[in-house]
Amino acid sequence: MQEQIKNIQTLEELQALYSSVFGKNGSMTAKLREMKNLDNDARAALNAENVMLRELFKTRQAEIENAVILAGLEKQKLDPTLNPMPENRGTLHPLTKSLCEISAILESFGYEMRTGPEIEDDWHNFTALNTPAHHPARDMQDTFFLENGNVLRTQTSAIQIRAMEADGVPIKMFGIGVTYRKEMDATHTPMFHQVEGLYIDKKITMSDLIGDIRAFLKRFFELDDVELRIRPSYFPFTDPSIEVDIKWHGGKLDGKWLEIMGAGMVHPNVLRNCGINPDEYQGFAFGFGLDRLAMLKYGLDDLREFYNGDVRWLRNSGF
């Protein structure tokens, strides 16, 4: 009996055995009932057996209960040698990265960063930029007009007006910001980013402009040299106006000339509109699309990818 009790593994089995010994029809219960017929020695022996068996059951019950608790704890055990959960680190959006890179390059050239509002008035977005009402050049940009006559800024050129009005000349500034136009295809989104540079002083020439553009593109694309093509163009706020193409090497666009920037010598009317005497001061301005430049640098085909907000794309795009 003692061995049997010690070998029991579950509380149910132990309970069953206990009943078969101490229950109403249990073997011990029967013996105890006959106790009065026993002599003293036998009585004492039976008593001892009774006590011993009860003790054994009690001990085994405690042991089994303990084992159950231990098994439970074992399951919850923390194993500090396991690999940690993979870390979910955020990264900068490729456009934000490009924006930081471009700012750093222009700042290293001595351009100071300026900002302006995204909802612009007609004066800063058009009129002061030598594009008065009914000027045909207003049609060059598909503008979002607000009911009160303001517009969603179509070009960061508005920032150069604000900077000249606030600080006068000489001035060497750049602006980076969101701009809006009603257009949407693989290379245009209704909201995009532009970068604008402006340098006005007493002896600034077109060759300063081209020198800075070349130096900037070399740094941004991390190239030893860049092949540029300067074409005459038209913007109301610059004269002469140019467009800059870069000869692209590598990828699908290998060997192609790509238009990347508009620029020119700031029109005397623009300077006058900002209270600056064009006979004393002159300089250049340039402007380009940040999204397009980032797209080229990172080899993307579709500009819209930047704005889809697809985390898998951002994670796998290799930025």
Binding residues for ligand PHE (CB under 6 A): 155, 157, 196, 235, 238, 262-264, 285-287
Nearer to ligand PHE, 196 or 296 (CB): 196
The 3-state DSSP class for residue 180 equals: strand
Output the DSSP codes for 62-105: HHHHHHHHHHHHHHH---TTSPPPPP------HHHHHHHHHHHH
Cα torsion angle, 121, 126, 127, 133, sign? negative
Least separation in angstroms between residue 154's CB and ligand PHE is 7
Q: CA 300, CA 292: separation in Å to the nearest integer?
A: 9
Q: Nearest distance from residue 304's CB to ligand PHE, in Å?
A: 20
Residue 255 CB, shortest distance to ligand PHE, in Å, is 26
Shortest distance in whole angstroms from residue 225 CB to ligand PHE: 24
Strands 228-235 and 238-247: antiparallel
Closest of 196, 228, 195 to residue 211, by C-alpha? 228
Minimum distance from CB of 85 to ligand PHE (Å)? 47
Pick 28 or 261: Cβ nearer ligand PHE: 261
Pairing relationship of beta strands 119-120 and 151-152 according to DSSP bridges: antiparallel
- Comparing CB distances to ligand PHE, the nearer of 196 and 212 is 196
Query: In this complex, which beta carbon is closest to ligand PHE, that of residue 196 or of residue 291?
Result: 196
Minimum separation from the CB atom of position 198 to ligand PHE (A) = 8
Q: 176 phi and psi, to 5 degrees?
A: -125, 135
Nearer of residues 98 and 154 to ligand PHE, judged by Cβ: 154
Q: How far is the CB of 197 from ligand PHE (least distance, A)?
A: 8
> 278, 237, 280: which is closest to 128 by C-alpha?
237
Residue whose beta carbon is closest to ligand PHE: 287
Instruction: List, as one string, the DSSP characters of 189-213.
Output: -SEEEEEEEEEEESS--HHHHHHHH
Question: Distance (Å, rounded) from C-alpha 269 to C-alpha 171?
Answer: 17
Q: Smallest distance from the beta carbon of 155 to ligand PHE, in angstroms?
A: 4
Give me 237's structure tokens.
């706020």
Question: Of 8 and 285, which CB lies nearer to ligand PHE in the complex structure?
Answer: 285
Please give the Cα distance from 302 to 124 (Å, whole number).
31
Nearer to ligand PHE, 200 or 285 (CB): 285
Q: Which is nearer to ligand PHE, 226 or 265 (CB)?
A: 265
